[in-house]
Amino acid sequence: MVVVLDASDTVVAASKRARESLEGLREGARLPPELLTGAEGLVPLEIPYEVGGRRERLVYLSAPGDLAAYEELRSGFTAAVSHELRTPLARLLVLLETALLPGEDATRLVELAHGEVEQIRELIDDVLFLSELETGRVVVALSRTPVLPVLEEVRGELEESAVRADVALRVSGDPAVELVLRPRMLRMVAKNLAENAIRYAGPGSTFAFAVRQEGGAVVLTASDDGAGVLEVDIARLFERFYRSDRVRASRGTGLGLAIVKHVVSSAGGTVEARGARGRGLEIRCIFPGS
């Protein structure tokens, strides 16, 4: 649960989970002091910062055992990141050493090396973003966002790379549908879902976003009619760094769908995936109604 306080401990903003779970919490009112002392059985983790000349701090409230579990998770995550960085770094070193040999096409090798550096940068960016989510430094659900314009924006941003991959991008849905999700968070979800299809659906496939009200929920569907995945891989799609044998040599970071799941879960939603080899992949992000 995440709360943003000003210098006088007045609540500037709070995550949806905090608003629903903490009695007496109201934006514009002072935070109940017992929440900062641990008296309510919650451990506060405070991160001060300054914005526009104002001093504020972000407070992450969790149960005592959560921090110990987080430390264990962070240790394993660090080991996984180190492993993932070794491959592009090793390729980069080989390319640079080869470029120094007589008769080699140095220009081509430097271009390949640039691609490895870009993959490393992308991995570091994803790791930092996921770390911010897990430590509560990024507040996911603080504002209402119309969904369709963000999906269209992402489609336009990725159109060029989709054309290169021979993947068509489509967007449909009710323009009146909104989510209690910050625009940046919705954009991150949409971009990762679309990039996943562009990388793995295969030439000649079509990827489609659709958003609609379904009962009391908002459902964002991302589906393609491409190569699909094995049934055994479905349950592991949202694991960090997981890639099936078929796509293990790809340039993806293995974090895109993990980020999607984390953002949706932080907003109180759930993520489902279904598909089969040769029958495409469908991912449903189900958000609670507002």
Does position 72 have pLDDT exceeding 60, yes or no?
Answer: no
Confidence of residue 246 (pLDDT cuts 50, 70, 90): very low
Q: Which two tokens stand for residue 183?
A: 């625009």
Last residue of a domain, one of 22, 40, 62: 62
Asked if residue 269 lies in contact with residue 285, where contact means CB atoms within 8 angstroms, the answer is yes
Pairwise pLDDT comparison (231 vs 142), residue with the higher score: 231
191-239 per-position pLDDT tens digit: 889 998 998 899 999 999 999 988 889 999 999 999 888 877 787 787 7
Statement to judge: residues 158 and 277 lie in one domain: yes
Q: Which residues pair with 288 in a beta bridge?
A: 217
pLDDT at residue 183 in the model: 81
pLDDT at residue 83 in the model: 52
Does position 97 have pLDDT exceeding 50, yes or no?
Answer: yes
Please give the residue range of the domain that contains residue 127: 65-135
Q: Does an H or E element contain 121, and which? A: helix 106-135
Window from 59-63, 126-130, 215-219, 223-227 with minimum mean pLDDT: 126-130
Last residue of a domain, one of 135, 155, 179: 135
Does position 54 have pLDDT exceeding 80, yes or no?
Answer: no
Burial class (CB in 10 A: 0-12, 13-18, 19+), 274: middle
Last residue of a domain, one of 118, 135, 152: 135
Statement to judge: residues 192 and 249 lie in one domain: yes
Q: How large is the average pLDDT for residues 34-63?
A: 71
Statement to judge: residues 156 and 282 lie in one domain: yes
Residue 203 CA to residue 26 CA, distance in Å, equals 51
The domain total for the chain is 3
Q: How large is the average pLDDT for residues 3-32?
A: 80
Q: Which of 188, 210, 182 shows the shortest CA–CA distance to 256?
A: 188
pLDDT at residue 206 in the model: 95
